[in-house]
Amino acid sequence: MRPPVNPPVRPVAVLIGPPGSGKTTVGMALAAHLGVPFHDTDAAVERGTGKSIGDIFVDDGESAFRALERAEVARALREEAGVVALGGGAPVDDETRAALTGHRVVFLDVGIADAARRIGFDRSRPLLAVNPRARWIELMAVRRPIYEALARVRVDTAGREPDAIAAEIAAALDAPTTPDAPRARDGGQA
């Protein structure tokens, strides 16, 4: 007799977005709302290496961090059953973008004013260490089209409470979708 086949594990939602969009905070609220675990790939990389992301950038370089990030995202997409939050730059990687195909990807959008208020553009964010506002704008010029192309749902997090954002995401994820159906945008409107 063969052992029972377990269905593949997939995250219920994968959160992407720029620094300061609330991926970790909203991700924890969404996981609590849905009654599932929360997994932050950046935090997993830090636990796995025993170093902060900033220290990995300084000691080993960005390419070393991106390789660790790519591996952790791939693992999380295969093995995590709850809400998964990716680092802001993860979706820029071609392999990661390919791995996100078919997942329930949610783009948490935010403007620079709210992002600055939330994260303060401190030194713990290595890509924002020098001239953080200008660098954030440059990063978003590259990343926004990628986030938008990957996302099934886009939610503006500016000036909103995490629980309200989580409830909106949960409702949008429950909505039936077909390949030709419009994706939810700004406040859950199609």
pLDDT of residue 21: 86
Q: Of 161, 144, 159, 135, which Cα lies nearest the Cα of 18?
A: 144
Whichever domain contains 135, its CATH number is 3.40.50.300
Is residue 2 assigned to a domain? no
pLDDT of residue 158: 86
Q: Of 184, 165, 187, which Cα lies nearest the Cα of 174?
A: 184
pTM: 0.82
Which residue segment(s) compose the domain that 49 sits in? 13-174
Is residue 181 assigned to a domain? no
Is residue 129 assigned to a domain? yes
Mean pLDDT by 10 residues, the chain (190 residues): 68 92 94 96 96 90 94 97 95 96 94 60 50 74 93 91 95 65 38
Integer Cα distance of 174 and 167 in angstroms:
11
Is residue 190 assigned to a domain? no
Is residue 162 assigned to a domain? yes
Is residue 118 assigned to a domain? yes
How many domains is the chain built from? 1
Is residue 130 assigned to a domain? yes
Is residue 169 assigned to a domain? yes
Beta strands of 100-157 (E only): which ranges?
A: 105-109, 153-156
pLDDT of residue 185: 40
pLDDT of residue 18: 87
Which residue do the tokens 């195909």 mark?
101
